[in-house]
């Protein structure tokens, strides 16, 4: 799943993961969990994530390499938030060549910057069970509390407007070049991510099924 911060990659990746029964691999979630647990990786990643910068390539590539070796990835997997730089894309290509499991699709969710800032500012997460809410489209039943476990919801630092703007700038500089990288390999599928979630789901399914 490809697209700028707040485009809905996680939501759509979760949907596809459930439909096709293959794991969703989110580098962001892995890094945030490491940060929460206070591991060396988490402490290192936090300094980058809290200011909207990218975590160094070697750290993220190592995480992905270890994750896709696991048993549940044998039938396929969905990458959510990776790769984000050309170096990561090239490293991923080599990893997958070794496994003889090339990428089948790169779904690019297209959303304009102002909409992305609005979406991110409205996002809330539960630190206990990792449930994600949007105050715009799926707010919790009780204000600022998780429906599932009742824990107080938080706004992540990387969802605050100034950080989101910084992340979008980094995305434009570092990640946008990947569009050409995957377009040349005929893997890129553009989807309008600004529409309602269900409409985006249908478009992605149509694209995946048509190209399967």
Catalytic residue among 32, 46, 119, 123: 123
**How would you class 4 by CB atoms within 10 Å of its CB: exposed for 0-12, middle for 13-18, buried for 19 or more?**
buried
Taking the C-alpha atoms of residue 204 and residue 134, their distance in angstroms, rounded to an integer, is: 21
Taking the C-alpha atoms of residue 192 and residue 62, their distance in angstroms, rounded to an integer, is: 32
Catalytic residue among 32, 46, 67, 84: 84
* 195 is known as an active-site residue: no
* 51 is known as an active-site residue: no
* 185 is known as an active-site residue: no
DSSP string for residues in 20-55: HT--EEEHHHHHHHHHHHT-HHHHHHHHHHTTTPPP
Catalytic residue among 156, 160, 165, 195: 156
Cis peptide leading into residue 104 (ω within 30°): no
Catalytic residue among 32, 167, 189, 201: 167
* 67 is known as an active-site residue: no
* 9 is known as an active-site residue: yes
**Residues catalogued as catalytic:** 9, 84, 123, 156, 167
């Amino acid at each position: 799943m490809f697209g700028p911060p707040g485009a809905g990659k996680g939501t759509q990746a979760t949907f596809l993961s459930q439909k096709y029964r293959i794991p969703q691999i989110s580098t962001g979630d892995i890094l945030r969990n490491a940060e929460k647990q206070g591991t060396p990786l988490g402490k290192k990643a936090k300094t980058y994530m809290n200011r909207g910068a990218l975590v160094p390539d070697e750290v993220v590539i190592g995480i992905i390499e270890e994750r896709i070796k696991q048993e549940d990835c044998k039938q396929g997997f969905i990458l959510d938030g990776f790769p984000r730089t050309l170096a990561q894309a090239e490293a991923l290509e080599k990893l997958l060549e070794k496994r003889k499991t090339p990428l089948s699709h790169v779904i690019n969710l297209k959303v304009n910057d102002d909409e992305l800032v609005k979406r991110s500012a409205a996002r809330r997460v539960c630190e206990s069970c990792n449930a994600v809410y949007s105050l715009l489209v799926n707010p919790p039943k009780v204000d600022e509390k998780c429906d599932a476990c009742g824990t107080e919801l938080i706004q992540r630092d990387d969802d605050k407007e100034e950080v989101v703007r910084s992340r979008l700038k980094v995305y434009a500089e570092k990640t946008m070049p990947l569009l050409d990288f995957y377009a040349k390999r005929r893997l890129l599928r553009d989807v309008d991510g600004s529409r309602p979630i269900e409409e985006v789901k249908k478009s992605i399914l149509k694209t995946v099924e048509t190209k399967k």
